[in-house]
Amino acid sequence: MKFPRFFLAMLGLPAVALVLPAAVQAAVIPSVDLHFSVEHLDRATAPGADFAKYAWGGWAARTEIPSDKASWGSGSILGENNWARIRKILEESAANPGAAGTNQQKVGDFFAAATDEAAIEAVGIKPLQSELARIDALANLSDLALYLADAHRHNSAGFFGIFPYADQRNSDVMQLIVGQGGLSLPTRDYYFDAKYAKFLPMFTEHMAKMFQLAGAAPEAAQKDAATVLRLETELAKISKSLTELRDPVANYNKMSVDECAALMPAFPFKSYLTATGFPATETHINLAQPKFFEGMNALLTSQPLADWKAYLRWHALTAAAQYLSSAFDQENFRFFGTALNGTPAQEPRWQRAARMLDANIGFAVGEVYVAKFFPPEVKTKLEAMIQNMRAVLHDRIVHLDWMTEPTKQKALEKLSTFKVIVGYPEKWRDYSKLTINRAAGYYANHRAAAEFESARQMAKFGHPFDKTEWFLTPQQINAYYQASAGQLIFLAGILQPPYFDPAADDAINYGAIVAVIGHEISHGFDDTGRQYDAHGNLADWWTKEDADAFKVRAQKLADQYGGYEALPGLKINGQLTLGENIGDLGGVSIAFEALQRSLVGKGRKVIDGYTPEQRFFLSWAQMWKTKTRDDRMKFLLQADTHAPGQIRAFGPLVNFQPFYDAFGIKEGDPMWLKPELRTKIW
């Protein structure tokens, strides 16, 4: 059971990372690229003309995107070295798995099975044949519901998604969230928007090839592919957009199981829930998008069962493709990697295996990673920086000129309850009930891990929501805010150059990791996070006057970013990216003030010809240096809640007068934003 897309979007969890590392190669990039450097600058470009190009245009001019990558930049360069570290852990565990039942044995055997190409080739599609046969044998919608429950337990998709999580209005209590899904393309827009029309025949061709690889005759494969596209298009029509999914109030629809079942009488919903392991003692769920399920019910009654069998065969094949023989794996990459994202070559086998291991039993790897590569002094230093940031935001809230006192007091209460965790979780995940065996094979181990995770999730019912649990493994290069838990998480993987460099001067670290800290703190008060109270509950703690004042400021920021083109003719979605842009604006402004406080009583050194203020802004911009293939950018503009790196490099800065002062940017310069258009929230 993995996070469904709708779940990540509606809760503001990191469907796409704060720092999204592209896939990385085996080779280690020279360490100079991991640090802030004036060598990355393009001094021929004026800061006021294009600050991103000025800050890292030199790096961009001499950097090519590797052939097996869709994009390349700060996160992926760090990821390059990080994966080399992880590879060492995995290979050592595979060579010396140790005692049966230990995490080392499970990690080693999973990796060994995943990299045993001869064994994977020898079994071909055999691991999936029993599931395909079960689909072919479905006789009615009752059979379909029972199959779907099993498929959801081992990460095959279809129709919708489920996930146990906190009740959004009572965060101490567990609740099952059920929401829209069933699409293969990145977003619903790919099925309708003219700019993505070229992908539809490619998608149909890909599905037909996959059906043929599974044994279908060419004519039958083409027919099934056309059927799947038609059904997914109908599902897309009744799906909310990613922007709509960002509204937590609109996507909170607590209903009794009986009420949910009544919305979709053609689908045996109660039987489905029982088969997933959902306890009969739980009587209510959050049916996040009721209109979707009403529409799904209509489709189930209007479309023949034979068509839905083709749809389920496709979802079984695409979910398993990366675990099957090279014919399936390569065809899967040809469409999703090359056609959709423009990536010419596939990553090496060891790295694809490492990613899958991270997705399946990643916390077992994380425990070793932290012990080997995360110095305790980093945790201590970061915790001190976080306290500094808290103090700055506290003072800013107290002195806000647009917020009234009752709302200020609620905001300060919320700030005081934030729990910050640096590096790794307080308790490690227990894999003792999971059996991994290299002789079982790659697909079987993946399925065992998926079913273990599904059982672990369903076992949460009857217990309070665990606000200490992590959703990402600590070795990842990321940070995130979890509203229902009041958690700010800074993973061990990100606490390295270029984001955090213990050897760098304060200006560099405040422009990078401290601004990231501020970004995450600001998420607690962005357009989504502000709707959760100090206890992690979806509750309106704002006066109408203050809420209206916030919305005016937020809309100004959305309008600003909505005017930027990432590719010719393709603009950023200011509403989809609003929360992250608020995070960036808050992060930069809070970190800058924190830097000013840290410099009191110290010498203000000019380094490499740049003042602390200039180095702060350059550090922020260099953190977002990136190059992206056009097709990947088109995907990100639809599916990513973050603005592209070349926009993040300057987007928040042009709202901030100290940026103009630092580089002498004046009215008439391209980077100039009229004062009345600048946004200040926190």
Written as one string, the DSSP assignment of 445-514 is HHHHHHHHHHHHHHTTTTSB--TT--SS-TTSS-EEEEGGGTEEEEEGGGSSTTT--TTS-HHHHIIIII
* 211 occurs within a structural domain: no
Q: Please determine, for residue 30, whether its predicted confidence score (pLDDT) is greater than 70.
A: no
Q: What is the pLDDT of residues 614-669, one digit of tens each?
A: 999 999 999 999 999 999 999 999 999 999 999 999 999 999 999 999 999 999 99
Per-residue pLDDT at 24: 30
The parent domain of residue 625 ranges over 377-423+465-682
Q: How far is CA 58 from the centre of its chain?
A: 29
Per-residue pLDDT at 646: 97
655-674 per-residue burial string, b: 16 or more CB within 10 A, e: under 16: bbebbbebbebeeebebebe
Reported pTM:
0.91
**295 in Cβ contact with 325 (< 8 Å):** no
**Could you tell me the CATH number of the domain that includes residue 471?**
3.40.390.10
**617 in Cβ contact with 655 (< 8 Å):** no
Which residue's structure tokens are 């769920």? Answer: 285
Pairing of strands 254-256, 419-423: unpaired
Per-residue pLDDT at 155: 85
* 509 occurs within a structural domain: yes
**6 in Cβ contact with 289 (< 8 Å):** yes
Roughly what angle, to the nearest 10 degrees, separates helices 612-623 and 578-599? 150
**640 in Cβ contact with 187 (< 8 Å):** no
Per-residue pLDDT at 4: 65
Per-residue pLDDT at 25: 32
Residue 650, phi then psi, degrees to nearest 5: -125, -15
Per-residue pLDDT at 458: 97
Least confident of 252-256, 417-421, 641-645, 675-679: 417-421
**Distance from C-alpha of 373 to C-alpha of 388, rounded to nearest angstrom:** 26
Query: Which residues, listed in sequence order, are joined to residue 164 by a DSSP beta bridge?
Result: 176
* Cα three-residue angle 640-645-648, rounded to 5 degrees: 95
- Name the average pLDDT for the chain: 93
First to last CA, the chain: 38
* 670 occurs within a structural domain: yes
Residue 491, phi then psi, degrees to nearest 5: -70, 150
Cα distances (angstroms) measured from residue 357 to each of 363, 477, 653: 10, 16, 39
- Work out the number of other CB atoms within 10 angstroms of the CB of residue 462: 9
pLDDT (mean) for 369-379 = 90
* 675 occurs within a structural domain: yes
Beta-sheet strand order (sheet of 487-491): 419-423, 487-491, 479-482
Which residue's structure tokens are 């308790």? Answer: 427
pLDDT (mean) for 545-574 = 97
**457 in Cβ contact with 472 (< 8 Å):** no
Residue of 592, 570, 590 lying closest to 644 (CA atoms): 570
In sequence order, which residues have a C-beta less than 8 Å from that of residue 515 and are 6 or more positions away?
A: 584, 587, 588, 590, 591, 620, 623
In sequence order, which residues have a C-beta less than 8 Å from that of residue 212 and are 6 or more positions away?
A: 218, 221
Residue 354 pLDDT level (bands cut at 50, 70, 90): very high
* 381 occurs within a structural domain: yes
Per-residue pLDDT at 28: 36
- Total residues belonging to the chain: 682
Helix H or strand E segment including 423: strand 419-423
Residue 385 pLDDT level (bands cut at 50, 70, 90): confident
Which residue's structure tokens are 């709202």? Answer: 655
Residue 584 pLDDT level (bands cut at 50, 70, 90): very high
**Distance from C-alpha of 288 to C-alpha of 679, rounded to nearest angstrom:** 33
Per-residue pLDDT at 96: 93
DSSP letters, 618-680, are HHHHHHT-EEE-HHHHHHHHHH-SS--HHHHTTTTGGG-HHHHHHHT--TTSTT---GGG---
Least confident of 34-38, 232-236, 355-359: 34-38
Which residue's structure tokens are 């937020």? Answer: 554
Which residue's structure tokens are 């099925």? Answer: 191
Q: Please determine, for residue 409, whether its predicted confidence score (pLDDT) is greater than 60.
A: yes
High-pLDDT (> 90) share of the chain, %: 88
Q: What is the pLDDT of residues 439-485, one digit of tens each?
A: 999 999 999 999 999 999 999 999 999 999 999 999 999 999 999 99
Least confident of 29-33, 148-152, 177-181, 277-281: 29-33
* 26 occurs within a structural domain: no
The token pair at 514 is: 């401290």
**Distance from C-alpha of 616 to C-alpha of 614, rounded to nearest angstrom:** 5
pLDDT (mean) for 260-284 = 97
Per-residue pLDDT at 6: 62
* Cα three-residue angle 172-177-178, rounded to 5 degrees: 170
Strand ranges, E, within 87-159: none
Per-residue pLDDT at 8: 64
At position 629, the amino acid (one-letter code) is: R
Q: How far is CA 193 from the centre of its chain?
A: 23
* 595 occurs within a structural domain: yes
**Selected residue with higher pLDDT from 362 and 154:** 362
Query: Which residues, listed in sequence order, are joined to residue 627 by a DSSP beta bridge?
Result: 72
DSSP letters, 540-556, are --S-HHHHHHHHHHHHH
Cα distances (angstroms) measured from residue 300 to each of 188, 240, 304: 19, 19, 8
Q: What is the pLDDT of residues 80-111, one digit of tens each?
A: 889 999 999 999 999 999 899 999 999 999 99
Residue of 674, 682, 663, 679 lying closest to 47 (CA atoms): 663
Least confident of 108-112, 599-603, 676-680: 599-603
214-240 per-residue burial string, b: 16 or more CB within 10 A, e: under 16: bebeeeebbbbbebbbebbbbbbebbb
**584 in Cβ contact with 648 (< 8 Å):** yes
Q: What is the pLDDT of residues 482-519, one digit of tens each?
A: 999 999 999 999 999 889 998 899 999 999 999 999 99
Count the helices and strands in the chain (H runs, E runs): 27, 11
Per-residue pLDDT at 381: 84
Per-residue pLDDT at 383: 85
* 577 occurs within a structural domain: yes
**Selected residue with higher pLDDT from 126 and 27:** 126
**Distance from C-alpha of 486 to C-alpha of 510, rounded to nearest angstrom:** 23
Q: Structural domain tally of the chain?
A: 1
Q: Please determine, for residue 599, whether its predicted confidence score (pLDDT) is greater than 80.
A: yes
Per-residue pLDDT at 308: 98
Roughly what angle, to the nearest 10 degrees, separates helices 141-153 and 126-136? 150
